[in-house]
A and B are shown apart, each in its own frame.
Chain A
Amino acid sequence: MSGNKDSDGGWRKFLWNSEKKEFLGRTGGSWFKIFLFYVIFYGCLAGIFIGTIQALLLTLSNYKPTYQDRVAPPGLSHTPRSDKSEIAFSISDKDSYTKYTKSMDDFLQPYDDELQTDQMKFEDCGVTPQSYRDRGSLEHEAGQKKACRFHRSWLGSCSGVGDTSYGFKEGKPCIIVKLNRIVNFRPRVPSDNQSLPDALQGKVMPNLIPIYCKNKREEDKSKIGEIKYFGLGEGFPLQYYPYYGKLLHPQYLQPLVAIQFTNLTMAQELRIECKAYGANIDYSEKDRYQGRFDVKITVSS
């Protein structure tokens, strides 16, 4: 088997030894035996592996992952999303923003009112921010939970109902922001006013996670202009929480906030940072989407 790989003649003989009827140094029978061995061996291994995976699955809950320490505190994600969080478009060129509006259409599609008509699955949770809506324990009560309706119209000029371009064609782009879903997570309102930005001071509503955007760079301060917030209470109202997970809460609609930049300076890259504020919402140096995000917007004419 060994040693005969160096010269040409050796190679050929190694490949097919007509004397001993050997292919690659083994006879047919020998190949069959070793092949059979490996088939059985790997078969057994596969069995053992599947067995251990099954054992693993048995230890898992259907409703709630074992550990949530990595997914919480929640991320703050936005639509349209973009490579390197850059949104750049030209007002006059429709094609430059259709990919954004398209993704917003897709994203808002589940929020269409006609999809929320089923009374068995949806319920109204009020038009003002209210406290958590507890729907029983996660583990014991089986059966699907009802979801709170969230009307697209609440997003005002960013709902895409009147203006299908979400303000893009006027140079007043909207982005839609959501707090990432986490099973059984109850966001808490900011505990003290200290951490809040000046603009939110005094405007704090109970049962609402406020969101606020501002310029990331000091020199952009005057260039950003007015920012409008749409949505139930212009934040994330608590009655939409907690989320009961995919299995129990398949129709769940997470609350959205639409942000419209109404007066952006044209033809400049502006960095805007949006933050959600809550007692259990944290920010991380490394994770640019945990509880906040920043986005670069360039509007050209």
Chain B
Amino acid sequence: MGYGRSDSYRVATTQDKDEKESPKKKGGKDLDDLKKEVPITEHKMSVEEVCRKYNTDIVQGLTNAKAAEYLARDGPNALTPPPTTPEWVKFCRQLFGGFSILLWIGAILCFLAYAIQAATEDEPAGDNLYLGIVLSAVVIITGCFSYFQEAKSSKIMESFKNMVPQQALVIREGEKMQINAEQVVAGDLVEVKGGDRIPADLRIISSHGCKVDNSSLTGESEPQTRSPDCTHDNPLETRNIAFFSTNCVEGTARGIVVCTGDRTVMGRIATLTSGLETGKTPIAKEIEHFIHIITGVAVFLGVTFFILSLILGYSWLEAVIFLIGIIVANVPEGLLATVTVCLTLTAKRMARKNCLVKNLEAVETLGSTSTICSDKTGTLTQNRMTVAHMWFDNQIHEADTTEDQSGSSFDKSSTTWVSLARIAALCNRAVFKAGQESLPILKREVAGDASESALLKCIEDKNKKVAEIPFNSTNKYQSDKHYLLVMKGAPERILDRCSTIMMQGKEQPMDDEMKEAFQNAYLELGGLGERVLGFCHLFMPEDKYPKGFAFDTDDVNFQTDNLCFVGLMSMIDPPRAAVPDAVGKCRSAGIKVIMVTGDHPITAKAIAKGVGIISEGNETVEDIAARLNIPVSQVNPRDAKACVIHGTDLKDLTQEQMDDILRNHTEIVFARTSPQQKLIIVEGCQRQVLYSHANNQNPKLCGLLFCQGAIVAVTGDGVNDSPALKKADIGVAMGISGSDVSKQAADMILLDDNFASIVTGVEEGRLIFDNLKKSIAYTLTSNIPEITPFLFFIMVNIPLPLGTITILCIDLGTDMVPAISLAYEAAESDIMKRQPRNPLRDKLVNERLISIAYGQIGMIQALGGFFAYFVIMAENGFLPSVLVGIRLNWDDRSTNDLEDSYGQQWTYEQRKIVEFTCHTAFFVSIVVVQWADVIICKTRRNSVFQQGMKNKILIFGLFEETALAAFLSYCPGMDVALRMYPLKPSWWFCAFPYSFLIFVYDEIRKLILRRNPGGWVEKETYY
């Protein structure tokens, strides 16, 4: 007796898939080949043919000589690891990738400049050398940090290997022998029993109640029967093939090995997964873009001042050193560390909210995601069959399917229900595992198959006594005072055996009316995507079947028809409670949620409707056709916003048709898809360009190079999902139910298996993107007050207002904590109400950010610093007028009687102390103006008064940077160590007016920005 329709639904696969469908030849021919479906044909051959093909014998097995020959030919039965990148290469990637390269170039330029100086001057200034060393140190330290952060990941092949069995029982030359699974070759005769792992792809030749668990391949946990008969053309669906690394749950079977190692179905998935190249993360692309901008600005400034200094009469060599100096001064030394720390903090925060991020850069990816392809089982649903509906007394009753039993219950007083429950309990081999009495029933673990467990859980809490009645577990007959025959199974087949039906506890003859009612109920429940079971019983007449009657189940010697129909129970894997809300949030956040499942279209659609992936009121083409009562072909596909696509249809689609479907439907369900198809769907989604958002971008104008596709997240838990997980921009695996392989292939793991956690991920991702902008704006701003002193030093020959060491103190000292604290900033508006960012237009760093940071705030900051410089110089006797042009004498060691504005004479060392005091004051001034900067960077649109100062880390940062600045200035010994000198208290206040000016200016800017949305101020200054 089978279930409603459970027996044959498996992954849809074909052998003749069109080459055209394989997308861009990224991984070369091999990978494209793997994306095609499984080429097994042995299931269609007779056992003899298979034997002939592999030169084996159905009883004796291979000869040892043949086995050795095959082993030499095919290689061991093991998964070949992909060519692994050596650790040092990975380390070098961390060390030289992305942002680091900028710092390296800076460091090299520094060393170059120092070399030039050392070669040409007698006493070269050590500044460039120190700077080069510090830059290298920063890159190496952050490189090591990220390397260790990510060292744990990318163990895909290892996790596949864990699935491979160690030993196999083969029959060679008629002898059973236990051999190492690696030694198994094609043609070997293999025996498996319950509890074993299948050592290779097997063509079953005989079986005894053999069931295998294919969940690692298909994601469906229901064990499947294996038998020698070919039941389906598709090798993945036929019953006579058992797959490498799947589990034999019960029974025994004997089969001939048809594929080994990488040629097995699992091997192909493993090779495909580990071989897939993944693109750069969105944040990596953003950082690249940022580097372009920064490099552009640096080179522009450098070349401009190179030419200017040549015009001013500097020598070529000096000009080159200036050029290098300016380019290096533009490098934000601390930013790499800041970004890394910000991402790490967010990753930590997400981990606390059950999103474990494996790859730091993936932290932001969810925030940019515009499409989520979600697996159904275990992600959207509870992965637990639950009785959802019952039909008895000619009425459909709804059972409670919520995870926490909070739902309503139905009337259980009917005697029909008692009978139904009794049948369900008797026809049940599932039992609760021991020692769980304290747990609520639904949480208890059950030994047994999924639907029987569901029945057990459904009835157990109501009729404890019934379950206590001892009964024979193998057959469906039960003796008490008199024998009661109970039966469950596919409703139509149960109905065929029934002549009466129970209504309100009384048997009534089954008439046509009742049959129609049954049909309607069956259809309705089936239409809900539920697995329906029929239940019937028969009180066996005591005269015919006296006590001790010997029932023979093999040769049925008792009545099995004219039974009494009791009712239907239907089961479904119900959606998780939090999912509909989460899907709704995703939708309002502009994210398209697509369901991709190996399950039946009807079930998939029902769940999709249940969780809102197909929202209420949206119809598929089929729905419209049914409503209008016209053939499907006459419906305009554009009318349907939703669609359900079957795996078998998917294989016939061209790339264009696929794109068309993805573009024109907002609500899509892919059912019965194979792992390879999941991959194709993900690639299709990634090709989608966000035309809707980029409405001012002509799609044609947007050349191939610029158009990044949509950013796609994939959730999944099975091995079958792993290629898609790997290919996705961000793969999300399930922490509890997920297989090891899927976790390794993914970038993020949901520790609580809850789709709703993805929403958290999206929120955090978007927040960190916004906050990184703020952080970068903050950090970049201080670049201008750092570089202008050098420019003025060159152009107007004043003593250097700010030295290299003090610049490093800002970039790697005082700026760090405030910049990082911006990562803790709360969102300004509801970030879940806006569209995902368009990777084409919404850049992390754009011209407007540079314009604000460099052109406006940075300039005010520079003035603040210069003011402090002039104050100190003037108060020590050097008025601004005398400073201009003084540089040559000032820096001349032999001039020890340099006159100031008052006629006083200064030794070299005396005036250098004043100069370094100026550096210190300039540094302190930058700290002071950075107070205002961090406060204005808290928000991009809102006023600080709206946002509030609730960010405690930021407040800490303000105090910390001030304390650090004071420490650097006043700590004894700093004059020797860093050449920083104590400041007179009044000099701390020089930059205060400028700090205040920054705050007022930016508040006014943001006020105009808010008052006048879309106006010039927004267009030019909203970053």
Which residues of A are at the interface with B, using a C-beta cutoff of 8 A?
1-7, 9-10, 33-34, 37-38, 41-42, 45, 48-49, 52-53, 56-57, 60, 63-68, 70-71, 74-75, 77, 81-85, 178, 180-183, 243, 245-247, 249, 252, 284, 286-290, 293
Contacts and interface: CB of A to CB of B under 8 A. Distances in A.
Given A10-B705, A67-B984, A84-B894, A41 B856 contact: yes
A157 B768 CA distance: 80
Among A2, A4, A33, A247: residue with most chain B CB under 10 A: A2
Interface in B854-885: 855-856, 859-860, 863, 866-867, 870-871, 874-877, 879-880
Given A3-B841, A49-B863, A287-B909, A181 B876 contact: no
A7 B704 CA distance: 10
A262 B895 CA distance: 26
Contact of B902 (A1, A4, A65, A286): A65
B398 interface: no
Contacts of A4: 706
B1020 to A, nearest CB: 6
Given A2-B841, A286-B909, A181 B870 contact: no
B866 A49 contact: yes
A19 to B, nearest CB: 9
B951 interface: no
A67 B866 CA distance: 19
B988 interface: no
Given A53-B867, A65-B877, A77 B905 contact: yes
A71 B705 contact: no
B897 A53 contact: no
B147 interface: no
A33 B289 CA distance: 26
Nearest to A60: B874
B902 to A, nearest CB: 5
B292 interface: yes
Given A10-B706, A75-B897, A56 B904 contact: no
Given A75-B905, A77-B897, A52 B875 contact: no
A292 B905 CA distance: 15
Contacts of B618: none
Given A4-B706, A71-B877, A71-B906, A48 B897 contact: no
A34 B860 CA distance: 18
B787 to A, nearest CB: 16
A287 B913 CA distance: 10
- The winner among A10, A64, A181 for most chain B CB atoms within 10 A is A181
Given A10-B703, A33-B1020, 7 more contacts: A2-B841, A3-B840, A56-B870, A63-B902, A75-B896, A289-B896, A290-B907
B869 to A, nearest CB: 11
Nearest to A49: B863
A104 to B, nearest CB: 14
B706 A3 contact: yes
A45 B855 CA distance: 12
B997 interface: yes
B2 to A, nearest CB: 57
B307 to A, nearest CB: 20
B903 interface: yes
Contacts of B856: 41
B905 A181 contact: yes
Given A10-B703, A41-B856, A81-B896, A75 B867 contact: no
A231 B877 CA distance: 30
29 contacts: A2-B289, A3-B706, A6-B706, A7-B703, A33-B1020, A53-B870, A53-B880, A56-B867, A60-B875, A65-B876, A65-B901, A67-B875, A67-B876, A70-B910, A70-B911, A71-B906, A71-B910, A75-B907, A83-B894, A180-B896, A180-B905, A180-B907, A181-B904, A182-B904, A183-B903, A243-B903, A246-B903, A247-B902, A252-B903
A156 B96 CA distance: 70
A191 B535 CA distance: 120
A183 B902 contact: yes
Q: Which 7 pairs show the lowest CB-CB distances between chains A and B?
A: A246-B903, A75-B907, A287-B909, A180-B905, A65-B877, A66-B875, A289-B907
Contacts of A287: 907-910
B1016 interface: yes
A5 to B, nearest CB: 7
A34 to B, nearest CB: 6
Nearest to A62: B902
Contact of A82 (B840, B860, B894): B894
Nearest to B863: A49
A286 B703 CA distance: 65
Interface in B681-715: 703, 705-706
Interface residues of B, number: 51
B231 to A, nearest CB: 54
A178 B897 contact: yes
B900 interface: yes
Contacts of A288: 909
A85 B866 CA distance: 34
A289 B908 contact: yes
A74 B1016 CA distance: 59
B910 A245 contact: no
Contact of A81 (B289, B895, B913): B895
A81 B840 CA distance: 64
Interface centre among A9, A48, A63, A249 (most CB of B within 10 A): A48
Contacts of A34: 1020
A70 B918 CA distance: 12
B1019 to A, nearest CB: 9
B851 to A, nearest CB: 8
A6 B909 contact: no
Contacts of A10: 703, 705-706
A249 B706 contact: no
B727 to A, nearest CB: 24
B431 to A, nearest CB: 62
B296 to A, nearest CB: 8
B735 to A, nearest CB: 37
A14 B1011 CA distance: 32
Interface-centre pick from B705, B902, B906 (highest chain A CB count, 10 A): B902
Contacts of A60: 874-875, 879
B932 to A, nearest CB: 15
B914 interface: yes
Given A64-B902, A284-B909, A2 B870 contact: no
B154 interface: no
Contact of B863 (A48, A64, A183, A245): A48
B993 A52 contact: yes
A121 to B, nearest CB: 15
A70 B906 CA distance: 9
Contacts of A84: 893-894
Nearest to B908: A289
Contacts of B899: 181, 246
B703 A9 contact: yes
A10 B901 CA distance: 56
A262 B913 CA distance: 37
B35 interface: no
A33 B1016 contact: yes
Nearest to B840: A3
B846 interface: yes
Contact of B896 (A41, A64, A77, A249): A77
B894 A45 contact: no
A214 to B, nearest CB: 20
Contact of B867 (A52, A63, A178): A52
Contact of B894 (A1, A6, A85): A85
Nearest to B1020: A34
A65 B900 contact: yes
Most buried by A among B893, B904, B905: B904
Contacts of A183: 902-904
Contacts of B859: 42, 45
Q: Which of B292, B895, B911, B913 has the most CB of A within 10 A?
A: B913
Contacts of B902: 63-65, 183, 245-247
